Structure 1
């Protein structure tokens, strides 16, 4: 877990691609990525459930156990913890740590920050070495001020969070304000809105791809099928069957 923490370097951020099943994780690991995240949207879609639904808890744990077989560090997106009960969320974090995960991503979806503080405290009390990335949805679930993000980030840091995640935050001055709080800042890569290099220059310590790889895979699957139907060239050069078998 210390190795994962050490990868969060302000100005030289960890690029964290997100997987939704073992094969994708294995293929990403083969490209040299030292750490992987999971994506709640991808996991939920694979099981036919809404994003972050409590019914996807078991699938999330099962994926973490499979990815832990790889020589990578795994951080698990647990949405809102799949429960409002701090003890239940702490139990989930402990189960994931036992499975081999080194971190979790816990979001507030802009509920009362006092409740999120109680969840963070419960997780850190139960699994103090687990890297807890506290996500606030000020810029994702609504159009809120950077002051609100700053207030929540400070509260989560005081509760024991190891990192702060503010998806959707992009304005340079706002990013620098949250970076200035001193806790590793994680931002989401949003095509056309930010660049990896630009976020690094602002002092960001981690850049997540979130559901982007999953959504890109959906488009690639559709483009492949329609290209064959319409007599066009394939959109990508895929790994061979043998290459995929070797990963497994």
Structure 2
């Protein structure tokens, strides 16, 4: 945990892209990224599934495979711990630790569209159980309010403060994009803060200025890759081989990453 956690420096954020398969993990590590994360939406997409449709064992095995491919610390996106009860969330985190992962994240989302966020006290209990099970795993606790149209910064901060008291190592409120709100969050907690880069949100330099310690991209790299696939397929459907002219950067990066 110490080496991975030491990469989280407020004002000098760790750029931690989310890989979606072993090949992307190898390329990103070879490009110099010091740590990687998985992405639940990206992993699901590679299986032809929607986010939330991949099970716990498959998600952990996927994260472990990326770790072996990349040779750098990997933090697993474990969604809501694939469970409701604190003891079951703890079991999920224990499996991630036993798989040799450097970190994992657990959300306070319920998976229930009618009541998408856990009660604050229950959410804290879930994080406390996860922290107890984590051992030397770096535990990221996520407050999901802003992904579910609950733009309540005060509640988000209160939740993250309770998560740090419960033992979380890193705090994360995906969906925040207002720089002043992000700055407020960083001031109000005593743990490294992860921010998800979003369209229309602040860039890396501005996030560094307000004390962010880690930056991730979620499923964006996956769908950028799929955009390249769509563009190539459209060329082919139009009777063109123009896609061959765009092979260079990707093929060269893969060759460098897999050279022995």
TM more than 0.5: yes
Pairs aligned (count): 247
- 2:39 is matched with which residue? 39
Q: Does the aligned pair in 2 maintain the 1:86–1:122 contact within 8 Å?
A: yes
Distance 1:7 1:245, change over 3 A: closer
- 1:209 is matched with which residue? 217
After superposition, the C-alpha distances for 1:18-42 in whole angstroms (9 at most, x for unaligned) are: 0121111111111111100000011
Q: Are residue 183 (structure 1) and residue 191 (structure 2) matched? A: yes
Q: Distance in 1 between matches of 2:134 and 2:18?
A: 23
Q: CA RMSD in A?
A: 2.1
Q: Does the aligned pair in 2 maintain the 1:23–1:247 contact within 8 Å?
A: no
Q: Distance in 2 between matches of 1:187 and 1:2?
A: 21
Deviation at 1:52, TM superposition (A): 2.3
Q: Does the aligned pair in 1 maintain the 2:27–2:253 contact within 8 Å?
A: no
Give the SS at the match of 1:198. Answer: helix
Distance 1:145 1:67, change over 3 A: same
Q: Distance in 1 between matches of 2:154 and 2:233?
A: 47
Q: Are residue 58 (structure 1) and residue 96 (structure 2) matched? A: no
Q: Does the aligned pair in 1 maintain the 2:27–2:254 contact within 8 Å?
A: no
Q: Pick which of 81-90 and 35-44 moved more.
A: 81-90
After superposition, the C-alpha distances for 1:64-122 in whole angstroms (9 at most, x for unaligned) are: 22122232001000000111122222122111112111111111122212222111111
- 1:246 is matched with which residue? 258
Q: Does the aligned pair in 1 maintain the 2:20–2:39 contact within 8 Å?
A: yes
Deviation at 1:143, TM superposition (A): 3.5
- 1:233 is matched with which residue? 242
Deviation at 1:45, TM superposition (A): 2.3
Structure 1: 5+ residue runs without aligned partners?
none
Q: Distance in 2 between matches of 1:57 and 1:152?
A: 25
Deviation at 1:242, TM superposition (A): 7.7
- Selected match of 2:168 from 161, 170, 177: 161
Q: Are residue 131 (structure 1) and residue 122 (structure 2) matched? A: no
| TM-score using structure 2 length | 0.88
Q: Distance in 1 between matches of 2:120 and 2:150?
A: 16
Q: Pick which of 152-161 and 119-128 moved more.
A: 119-128
Structure 2: 5+ residue runs without aligned partners?
110-116
Distance 1:245 1:161, change over 3 A: closer
Q: Does the aligned pair in 2 maintain the 1:44–1:56 contact within 8 Å?
A: no
Q: Pick which of 226-235 and 136-145 moved more.
A: 226-235
